[in-house]
Amino acid sequence: MSQLKVGDEVLVEKMNYGLLTTARFEEGKDLWMLATGTGLAPFISILYELETWDRYENIILVYSVRETKELAYMEIIESLKDHEYFGEFSHKFRFLPVVTREKFEGALDKRIPVLLESGELEKKIGLPLDPERSRIMICGNPEMVDDTRAWFTDSGYTVSRRSKPGHLALENLW
């Protein structure tokens, strides 16, 4: 086992490994970010990119957990409306918590794929999903990702590929 000592040279290779970025999309007016649990983390990073706020007319974050105590980053999400850089864009941002196993004021209470199927998600957000406008990012548990992807692909959306941009960018949490 080697050990670094003060003065040792360290080489760092800069590589971009993440595929869950808005660079996966061309055009689009509405950015929908659908997350379960800690799948929210990449979206917090995306919300801190000024390009995101410049590029989209509407930014929608849907965050699903089982219990209220699992809602993470709420203080950060709520602070975006007063943020020194992003606050001026707060009219573009819609946040919807989803808590599936208990009641939480203002939250929906069904799985994201069920909310899509019923139309309840669009109704609550007040914005229709539309392949011409909507770009969808999905991150979280594999079952939610698979079920949500299936709903979108059955509805005419395509998964973005490096060689062919589409409407969906996906990442399983584990």
**What pTM did the predictor assign?**
0.87
pLDDT tens column, 62-77: 999 999 999 999 999 9
Domains of the chain: 28-172 (3.40.50.80)
Among candidate residues 96, 64, 91, the one with its CA nearest the CA of residue 77: 96
Would you say residue 86 has pLDDT above 60? yes
* Percentage above 70 pLDDT, the chain: 92
| Mean pLDDT along residues 69-97 | 94
Pairwise CA distance, residues 34 & 32, whole Å: 6
| Mean pLDDT along residues 28-41 | 95
Pairwise CA distance, residues 99 & 104, whole Å: 7
pLDDT tens column, 44-54: 999 999 999 99
Pairwise CA distance, residues 20 & 42, whole Å: 7
